[in-house]
Amino acid sequence: MTDSRQQNPLTAGLSETLLPQPCTLIIFGASGDLTRRKLLPAVYNQMLDGILPANFAVLGSSRSVMDDQAFREFAHEGIERYSRQAIDNHHWPDYEHRLFYEPGSLDDPQCYERIKQRLSEIEHEFGIPGNRIFYLAIPPSLIEVTVEQLRTAGLIMPINEPGPFSRVIVEKPIGHDLVSAKKINETLARSFNEEQTFRIDHYLGKETVQNILVMRFGNAIFEPLWNKKYIDHVQITVAEEEGVGTRAGYYDRAGALRDMIQNHLLQLLSLIAMEPPWSMDADVIRDHRMDVLNCLRPVATDNIDQHVIRAQYGPGTSHGAGVPGYRREQDVDPESITETYVAIRAFIDNWRWSGVPFYIRTGKRLPKRSSEIAIHFKAVPPILFNADTNNPLEPNVLALSIQPDEGLSLRIATKLPGPKVRIYPVKMDFRYGSTFGNPSPEAYERLLLDVMAGDATLFMRRDAVEASWAWIENILNAWKSSGARWLPEYPAGSWGPLEADRLVESSNHSWRKL
Amino acid sequence: MSTSQSKAPHIIAHPPRPVDVAAIERELIQVWDEFRDGANDKQAIMRACMSNLMIFCSTEQQATEVAAEIPTIAQLHPARVILLVKKDAHKDAPIEASVSAFCRQLGSGRQVCSEHIRIEANDSNWRHLSPVARSLLIGDLPTTLWWFEHQPPVIQGKLFNELIKMADQLVYDSIGWPNPAEGILAMTRWVSGDGHTNQVVYNLAWRRMRPWRRLIAEALAPEVVPNALDSINDITIEHGPHALPMIWLLIGWMATRLGWQLIKGKLVSGSEISWHFKSGSRALQVCLHRMDSGEPEMQRLMIRWQGDGAPGHANFAKLDAHRMGIVAESSTIPPSVISISHESSATMVARQLAHRERDPLFTNTLEVSRSMAEVLHL
């Protein structure tokens, strides 16, 4: 695999951040929602921002029968609706000129032969030196056949041979349990080495998430407090306002634990709790994140209800209108016991975090869309301003908001103006959108750029995926053996079941009001 | 999911209030108090300040030009902007000052505001500009000096030396300098001399060349066109009036990165300059041709090379206001196009305010540019 940054003297110092290399992005599942809403708009925004390589093209493929022109119209429609930047007629012709499409079935060898031929033509036309990124925007069950066909057709550069690079991007979920995750990883490993494999978790592409490392290790005031001595507990919330929508078929087989906790929330947890890395090298960062996963205390299965709460949304309200309960949603089994809400009290058994609860919660049909990480510091001693046990001071909270408004806030106690000493909690707020005038790039823009540049820092490594599954599987097995026929319900539009409140109240804590 | 397309934020510029120099801070507090009293619960006013930005102008006209751009800066990088104007006025007039604020309306009803202070001095009292500016800088924040004058900053002598001492960064623009060679020599002397301590030095002309540098680097990358960069033997550039300092930097950059050694240079005519370089045993020539009219920018760049195989050439051109690329008809490599977004000076400055690292590539380029100026014996 070559790295043109090392060979090209003119690229030194050219960009403050990343230097994407000339390549073709081949998208499997190109007629799907992800391509329309995220991938094609991301590439379009990169082009408008002038960061897309000059020698670049997109070749889409899926079963849907389309020609290049229809694919370009599909892209236009997606960008018009979902792009961060509006369609610009000055630039559109240059963008659509780079889009190509080849229909076919993922298990049909002829399809790959046609793709090979198209790629050859495209690379010649755009002066692309054979670098290829395969984006597998397809269900996990199709990954194996796709990768095998790619290899058989000779579309992938052999591992560790000099020449153009081949990279692969796979979307979550990587499997539905540890065994299937390992199988997918082994399939990928037969054709791509780990440096060529990019397991995407779009949460890691968000500005606030990347800012976690900067905030922790770029400021002297936080890291000395970042341990069991000063931190009382941590809350990580990913709340969704929407129900299962069009994903019911998938979701009813997966549930919130697999869909959200196994990937997004455990990745956030590992970033918040990791030890200081000694370099920004991708593998160093990922090693340190992995250490956190290794230290996660397995949830005790004999009293799992004291550590993990699962529930389903019932009928209720959303956006001011009545909505049905989960079991009444289209394509959901009326007897389903799939959880749409999970709350977990987790512990990280290492020197830094021993005894500090990490409360994790996620759910659908909650009152609003909101994701944040809140660090709750310990209260000041019960003397001086905190001497009144009936009115204790509210402890400091550092909250990192991930969506919808990326930013951070710090709650501090301050004196109200006046002759009496009256203390009031105020929030110091930093919002990306307010402070920096330009809107942040979408997570997919950043992550696609990283793949073009060969930087895997913000992607999940194989061992981390498997460690996450191993931890999750413990809970899944306990649930399975419980033989439960029903789950607690929470009204749609509420903050979850009472059981989740009790989970944190048992440790004298309460969920943050978001 | 609905569209997330961004809309241009609404900037509210509050009218300037004339104020005595000694009362500037007091007046600003008054301004904030009035904002706070006038806002309801849904219109929280946030005073935002990420930097101090001193802007120096030497004419009223420049001051008017740059004042129109300050809202752009307030939008991208909220800063305390201190506009320093050294104007021609009768000698006994005192220093004049005014204060105002720019507020950006956010969707939530909140407003993010930043401050603008204008100080005007004349021939007799301009020496007081720098002490006044010093008293207005907000501590603990980085300070940038934007030299808006169309002359190399060092030409202002003492005033520049006093202002730059307060700054962490100097931003200037060599486009339009009346004598580019003299300006380059003066600036490189200052950068390598005692006057310059640890400030970041940034030339907007260097920033404007970035899309060109990127396109050249990508189009002639060894993996795309093997050996092209190692065997360049001829470069011809056509540019508009006043763009010479920018082109100068581009050649300096290529020479720095590709290891070219300067042999000689010649002012062929009023509109043409040539330099001869060598790289190992290979000689190469660079010719610059100024067009009689057009925008102050590079219009066309032809690079020829003689590799192991067939000779090649690439014709880089600005295609229109929004795009540049490689023209297929006169190139031996595939055509390609990249988007360029026109950025105003204020936008470039606002973006640069957040960058506080030195750019060694620019410094190295400046050194080669100095040699290129010296061999012309102007």
Q: Find chain A residues with C-beta within 8 A of B106's C-beta.
A: 433-434
Chain A touched by B8 (CB under 8 Å): no
Determine the residue among A6, A8, A10 to mutate to test chain B binding: the one whose Cβ has the most chain B Cβ atoms within 10 Å.
A10
User: In the 8-state DSSP scheme, what is residue A241?
Assistant: -
Q: What is the mean pLDDT of chain B?
A: 85
Q: Is B255 part of a structural domain of the chain? A: yes
Specify whether the backbone of B259 is left (phi greater than 0), alpha (psi in -120 to 50) or beta.
left
Q: Is there a contact between A83 and B257 if contact means CB atoms under 8 Å apart?
A: no
- DSSP conformation letters of B170-187: EEE--TT-SSHHHHHHHH
Same domain, B149 and B218: no
Same domain, B247 and B331: yes
Chain A touched by B258 (CB under 8 Å): yes
Same domain, B161 and B244: no
pLDDT band at residue B38 under the 50/70/90 scheme: low
Same domain, B145 and B29: yes
Instruction: Output the pLDDT for position A1.
Output: 41
Q: Find chain B residues with C-beta within 8 A of A126's C-beta.
A: 334, 336
Instruction: Output the pLDDT for position B341.
Output: 79
Chain A CA closest to residue B75: A437
Q: Is B95 part of a structural domain of the chain? A: yes
What residues of chain B, 276 to 335, have a C-beta less than 8 Å from chain A?
A: 320-323, 325-326, 333-334
Residues B64-86, mean pLDDT to the nearest whole number: 88
Same domain, B120 and B33: yes
Same domain, B220 and B365: yes
Residue B42 confidence (pLDDT) above 70: no
Instruction: Output the pLDDT for position B72.
Output: 85
Chain A CA closest to residue B45: A434
Same domain, B32 and B137: yes
Same domain, B127 and B257: no
Domain holding B102, by residue range, is 10-167
CA–CA separation, A323 and B60 (whole Å) = 64
Q: Is there a contact between A94 and B110 if contact means CB atoms under 8 Å apart?
A: no
Q: Is there a contact between B229 and A164 if contact means CB atoms under 8 Å apart?
A: no
Peptide bond into A162 cis (omega under 30): no
Domain end (from B142, B167, B192): B167
- Chain-centroid distance of CA A322 in Å reads 30
Instruction: Output the pLDDT for position B2.
Output: 39
Q: Find chain B residues with C-beta within 8 A of A131's C-beta.
A: 223
Which residue in A202, A233, A264, A288 is the catalytic one?
Answer: A264
> Is residue B79 helix, strand or coil?
strand
- From A11's Cα to the closest Cα of chain B, the distance in A is 6
Domain end (from B167, B185, B217): B167
How many contacts (CB atoms, under 8 Å) link A and B?
Answer: 136
| Residue A331 contacts residue A339 (beta carbons within 8 Å) | no
- From B221's Cα to the closest Cα of chain A, the distance in A is 6
CA–CA separation, B154 and A10 (whole Å) = 30
Kindly state the tokens that stand for A392. 């204790």
Query: Which of B218, B341, B350 comes nearest A22 by C-beta?
Result: B218
* pLDDT tens sequence across B178-225: 888 888 888 888 887 766 667 899 999 998 998 999 999 989 988 888
Q: Is B93 part of a structural domain of the chain? A: yes
Instruction: Output the pLDDT for position A397.
Output: 94
pTM of the predicted structure, to 2 decimals: 0.82
Task: Select from A290, A248, A431 the least CA-distant residue to B111.
Answer: A431
CA–CA separation, A501 and A309 (whole Å) = 10
Query: Which of B225, B333, B339 comes nearest A50 by C-beta?
Result: B339
Same domain, B28 and B139: yes
Q: Is B66 part of a structural domain of the chain? A: yes
Instruction: Output the pLDDT for position A5.
Output: 45
Return the H-helix or E-strand segment holding B84.
strand B79-86
Residue with token string 């094609």: A40
Query: Which of A11, A47, A50 comes nearest B217 by C-beta?
Result: A11
Q: Which stretches within chain B are classed as H helix?
A: 24-38, 60-76, 129-136, 158-165, 180-192, 204-208, 210-219, 244-258, 345-353, 360-374
Residues B292-307, mean pLDDT to the nearest whole number: 90
Query: Which of B46, B223, B354 comes nearest A7 by C-beta?
Result: B223
Catalytic annotation present for A376 = no
Half-sphere exposure of A109 (CA within 13 A, CB side): 5
Backbone angles phi, psi at A434, to 5 degrees: -85, -40
Residue B43 confidence (pLDDT) above 60: no
Distances (CA, A) of A233 to A131, A221, A411, B307, B378: 46, 18, 15, 65, 70
Determine the residue among B7, B338, B362, B365 to mutate to test chain A binding: the one whose Cβ has the most chain A Cβ atoms within 10 Å.
B338
514 residues of chain A, pLDDT tens digit each: 444 444 788 887 775 456 788 999 999 999 999 999 999 999 999 999 888 988 999 999 999 999 999 999 999 999 999 998 999 998 999 999 999 999 999 999 999 999 999 999 999 999 999 999 999 999 888 999 999 999 999 999 877 777 899 999 999 889 899 999 999 999 999 999 999 999 998 888 887 788 888 889 999 999 999 999 999 999 999 999 999 888 888 899 999 999 999 999 999 999 999 999 998 888 999 999 999 999 999 988 788 888 999 999 999 988 777 899 999 999 999 999 999 999 999 999 999 999 999 999 999 999 888 999 999 999 999 888 888 888 888 899 999 988 887 788 898 888 877 777 878 787 777 777 666 666 678 889 999 999 998 888 889 999 999 999 999 999 999 999 888 888 999 999 999 999 999 999 999 999 998 8
Chain B CA closest to residue A93: B337
What domains lie within chain A, and their CATH numbers? 4-171 (3.40.50.720), 204-381+398-414+427-505 (3.30.360.10)
Domain end (from B167, B188, B217): B167
Q: Is there a contact between A55 and B1 if contact means CB atoms under 8 Å apart?
A: no
Q: Is B78 part of a structural domain of the chain? A: yes
Q: Is there a contact between A82 and B339 if contact means CB atoms under 8 Å apart?
A: no
Instruction: Output the pLDDT for position A403.
Output: 81
Distances (CA, A) of B28 to A398, B46, B83, B114, B232: 31, 14, 15, 11, 58
Instruction: Output the pLDDT for position B9.
Output: 57
Query: Which of B220, B334, B361 comes nearest A126 by C-beta?
Result: B334
Chain A CA closest to residue B109: A434
Same domain, B77 and B135: yes
Instruction: Output the pLDDT for position B89.
Output: 67
- The number of distinct structural domains making up chain B is 2
Peptide bond into A404 cis (omega under 30): yes
Q: Is there a contact between B211 and A50 if contact means CB atoms under 8 Å apart?
A: yes
Residues B318-339, mean pLDDT to the nearest whole number: 89
Instruction: Output the pLDDT for position A4.
Output: 44
* pLDDT tens sequence across B55-69: 999 888 999 999 888
Instruction: Output the pLDDT for position A46.
Output: 92
Q: Is there a contact between B258 and A10 if contact means CB atoms under 8 Å apart?
A: yes
Q: Is B181 part of a structural domain of the chain? A: no
Q: Find chain A residues with C-beta within 8 A of B110's C-beta.
A: 434
- Chain-centroid distance of CA A150 in Å reads 27
CA–CA separation, A144 and A185 (whole Å) = 9
Q: Per this entry, what is the length of chain B?
A: 378
Query: Which of B213, B223, B350 comes nearest A2 by C-beta?
Result: B223
CA–CA separation, B229 and B305 (whole Å) = 8
| Residue B31 contacts residue B80 (beta carbons within 8 Å) | no
Chain A touched by B15 (CB under 8 Å): no
CA–CA separation, B340 and B112 (whole Å) = 29
What CATH number does residue B220 fall under?
3.30.360
Q: Which residues contact residue A393 at a Cβ distance below 8 angstroms, ignoring those fewer than 6 apart?
A: A379, A380, A385, A386, A413, A423, A425
ipTM over 0.90: no
Q: Which residues contact residue B373 at a Cβ distance below 8 angstroms, ignoring those fewer than 6 apart?
A: B180, B181, B182, B184, B185, B248
Instruction: Output the pLDDT for position B71.
Output: 84
Q: Find chain A residues with C-beta within 8 A of B232's C-beta.
A: none
Q: Is there a contact between A84 and B48 if contact means CB atoms under 8 Å apart?
A: no
Chain A CA closest to residue B72: A437
pLDDT band at residue B128 under the 50/70/90 scheme: confident
Task: Select from A61, A151, A136 the least CA-distant residue to A105.
Answer: A61
